[in-house]
Amino acid sequence: MTDGWHCLHVFYRVRQDALLALSPDQRAAGREQLEKILDPQRDGAPKRLQTSVVSGHKADLGLMLLDPDPLVLDAVLHSIRTSTFGPALEPTYSFVSITEVSEYVPTVEQYAERLKQEGTDPTSPAFAAKLKAYEEREAMMRKQRLFAEFPPWPVTCFYPMNKIRHPQANWYTRPFSHRMDMMTEHGKSGMKFAGRATQVITASTGLDDWEWGVTLWGREPAFLKEIVYTMRFDEASANYAEFGPFYVSYIMSPADAIKHLQL
């Protein structure tokens, strides 16, 4: 594909009965196999592969994978399934999506029109400076949304979401200009958390049961709570958003995750 990468979130639960059925030698072999499978530097690994341990009862191990080829992502799942630990790692949830640049992100031309509407003289140095700064920022933002780099932060959160279709609150019957204004407000709320939390939104319409997947990373768990709470007061979220289950996890190397899960 020319735009964006395929994305896969997978969550596993450790089955203690299957784990106890393995001999010490089998478990040692299983640890070695799993560490190799989850090594983001190995030959044939997805372009991005992140391992985390999940807080709470919904799952134990979390994976986020990105690659231009969806079968590269799928191969990781089957490598785990057919490994020594395959019977002991039970998939509990998965989410299939694709990275995208939202239609509500202004192009450089749309941003120029917005500046004019706000009263900035298009012949002024201020207009040129603002437009140039946005052009540079837009290019960086587009690259991060399509080919996301994982930030070196310790905690991540994933949840799926929809825009509501209801006779009294149907996102898809609102004019584009109104939806654009709501998403601009939503984006400004998120930018207040720069340096504390960041996100990647992936599209799943036609690919999974929800329309989007939201992946957040934070410098600490409290920042994730704060950004989600703050942004729920925006009109786009308060009136039109429906949320699925939240998975909060702590990012670790494969070896550290294996040790933490006592495999």
Q: Which residues are catalytically annotated? A: 159
The answer to whether 102 and 201 have CB atoms below 8 angstroms apart is: yes
Place of tokens 């006779």: 167
DSSP secondary structure code for residue 196 in this structure: T
Q: List residues bridging with 215 in a β-sheet.
A: 158, 200
30 close to 179: Cβ distance less than 8 angstroms: no
Lookup: tokens for 5: 């990468």
214 residue type, one letter: V
Q: Which residues of 58-73 are buried (b: 16+ CB within 10 A; e: fewer)?
A: bbbbbbbbbbeebebb
CA–CA separation, 238 and 236 (whole Å): 6
Which helix (H) or strand (E) is 73 found in, with range? helix 70-81
Per the DSSP assignment, residues forming a β-bridge with 242 are 162
70: three-class secondary structure by DSSP: helix
CA–CA separation, 237 vs 228, rounded Å? 10
* Backbone region of residue 107 per phi and psi (left: phi > 0; alpha: psi in -120 to 50; beta: other values): beta
